[in-house]
Each structure stands twice: as structure tokens, then as C-alpha cells.
Amino acid sequence: MANNEPASLRRIKIIPTGILVIGAIYCLIPVAWVFVAASKAPNELFNSFTFAPGSGLVHNFKALFAFSDGVYGKWALNSLLYSGVGGALSTLISAAAGYAMAKFNFVLGRVFLFTLLGGLLIPGITLAIPQYLLMSDLNLAGTRLAVLLPVLITPFGIYLCKVYADGAVQQEALEAARIDGASEWRIFRSIAMPLMLPGMVTVFLLQFVGIWNNFLLPYIMLSDSSTFPLTVGLNSLLERGSGSPSLYSLAIIGAAVAIIPLVALVLFLQRYWRLDLIAGGVKG
């Protein structure tokens, strides 16, 4: 079929495509550099072409997991604990709160909504010091709970679940369940949660990635290297790299390995991942 679009319109459509391609290249170049640099031996890291593969990949990989009695594995498990448990609990809390805000009329409901929207405007970095002082008063500073507790409630996750519940969960289904004698908890668990699953997976992925990549909060809260996540642990390698340049290679391959779980998680959950909440909003 012949393309009847004017040439000027086709040229205009090329512009956003070109911008997206440039943006993708801009984001992927650092990732590509990390994986290439991870293959270089310490003596090759600063003495060879930036994107030329090296010969030290296997050596670096073995050295990474042998370093300091396998501390990298402990950091990885800590990151998995903080991200997995924190992301799962945060998703459940966000789903319950978002569902309640979407489907129940209660006093000061609009005040809560606007307060929630206001919370979206507050950068998380501004809360790190107050959170540390609070955890210190509770004698939790330096423990894993000091990293887990602040990430359990996220305004963005609650708002995302509210928007999704507004469109995906039909009021008629809830009323029918109430007539049949179902409790509110059973309605939420058996009706609302399955319908909200794509939105909940989105919240979980965003929370998991955000916690996995979080540096400032655990950096402030933790002092024992055995409780460090990958971000803080790799930073400690970089700080010591000036005295021992071989640690730079360990930090780089450690960063490359840390990317793999995120990619695997996204690929595994992509069938449920929905950022287009409009699709939920037009049902019924």
C-alpha cells in the first residue's frame, strides 16, 4: 500500500524518533562501558582504549567473590533483602491504602489525597537526615530495620495504586460481594488485588529498583560492612581504590554483576508490568 502521508509530516515524525534514539544511546553508553571495563585486568583498565575488551574477566570475577572472605556475596544478599522485602511490603501497603482511598468515602479523604500529592513533591534526599535522627532515637540506627522501615510507605506507590484501583476495580463487584456476606478484607484480597495485579507489579518493580539503587539512605544509616547493600559496599571499594588500584576493577565488575538481577527481574515480570494506567482507567 502506498504511503499517502505528506513528506513534511514524515519528516516531522522522524524528529521524536531521533530524540528517543539519542536518549537511548546516551543511557546505554555508560552501561556498555561498565561491561567492557569489567573484562579488563587492573593494568589494562587505564592503559587501553575505553571500549576495547580486556583479558581479565574471569580473574576479576573470581577475585570479586574471593575478596575479604566473600563480602560481595553478603552485600548482594543484603541488597536482595532490602529490595525484596521492602518492595513486597511497600507494594502491599500501597495497594491497601490506594484501594481504600479509591473505594471508600471517609472524613478528610480529600485532605489525605492532597497531602499524598504533596508528598510526591518532596525529594527523598531531604528526608534522609530526619529519618536517621528518628531511627537513632529508636535505637535502630546501624541495623537493617533502619533501611527497611523508611521505604515501606511511598506516596508515589499509594497514588499509583489509587489511580489503578479507580479504573480496574468495579464498584458493582464490590457491592455484590458485600451482599453475599464477604468481609472487607476478603473483598480486597479476593477481588481487588487480582484486578490490581498489573499496577501492583509496577509498584513492586519501581520500589525494588529504587531500593536496590539507593545509596544515601543506607550510607547514612549503616556503619557495619556486613549490613551494607551493594551500593554502599561498592562505594567503599572505590574509596579504597586510590591506595590499591586493583580495587577499581573489583568495583567495576561488581557494578556489572549488580545490574544482572534487575534485568532478570524486569524480563520475568514484564508480562504483568503496566505503566499505562489509562488502560485500567477505561475499563467498564
Helix (H, G, I), strand (E, B) or coil at 162: helix
In a domain, 1, yes or no: no
Indicate the residue among 32, 61, 90 that finishes a domain: 61
Residues 20 and 93 in one domain: no
pLDDT at 284: 40
Residues 50 and 114 in one domain: no
In a domain, 103, yes or no: yes
Tally of residues, the chain: 284
Question: Cell digits for 245?
Answer: 588500584
How does DSSP classify residue 190? I
Indicate the residue among 24, 39, 61 that finishes a domain: 61
Residues 123 and 224 in one domain: yes
Q: 266-276, pLDDT tens digit by residue? A: 888 887 765 54
Across 235-257, average pLDDT: 86
Burial class (CB in 10 A: 0-12, 13-18, 19+), 250: buried
Residues 50 and 117 in one domain: no
Residues 132 and 169 in one domain: yes
Cα 27 from chain centre: 17
Residues 112 and 230 in one domain: yes
pLDDT band at 216 (very low <50, low <70, confident <90, very high): very high
Residues 77 and 35 in one domain: no
pLDDT over 70 at 281, yes or no? no
Across 87-97, average pLDDT: 96
Q: What angle in degrees, to the nearest 10, is found between the helix axes of 71-103 and 230-240? A: 140
Q: Which residue carries 522522524 as its cell?
A: 14
Residues 102 and 174 in one domain: yes
pLDDT at 255: 94
Indicate the residue among 19, 43, 61 that finishes a domain: 61
| CATH number of 244's domain | 1.10.3720.10
Residues 16 and 88 in one domain: no
In a domain, 137, yes or no: yes
> Dihedral of CA 97/98/103/106: which sign?
positive
pLDDT band at 278 (very low <50, low <70, confident <90, very high): very low
The domain tally of the chain equals 2
pLDDT band at 125 (very low <50, low <70, confident <90, very high): confident
Residues 23 and 41 in one domain: yes
In a domain, 17, yes or no: yes
In a domain, 249, yes or no: yes
pLDDT over 50 at 68, yes or no? yes
Residue 63: CA count within 13 A, CB half-sphere: 19
| Cβ neighbours for 149, distance < 8 A, ≥ 6 positions apart | 135, 140
Across 225-231, average pLDDT: 94
Residues 190 and 242 in one domain: yes
In a domain, 51, yes or no: yes
pLDDT band at 108 (very low <50, low <70, confident <90, very high): confident
- Tell me how many degrees the CA angle 95-97-101 measures, rounded to the nearest 5: 115
Residues 109 and 46 in one domain: no
In a domain, 155, yes or no: yes
In a domain, 2, yes or no: no
What domain range is 203 assigned to? 66-280
Q: 130-181, pLDDT tens digit by residue? A: 999 999 999 999 999 999 999 999 999 999 999 999 988 888 999 999 999 9
pLDDT at 6: 66
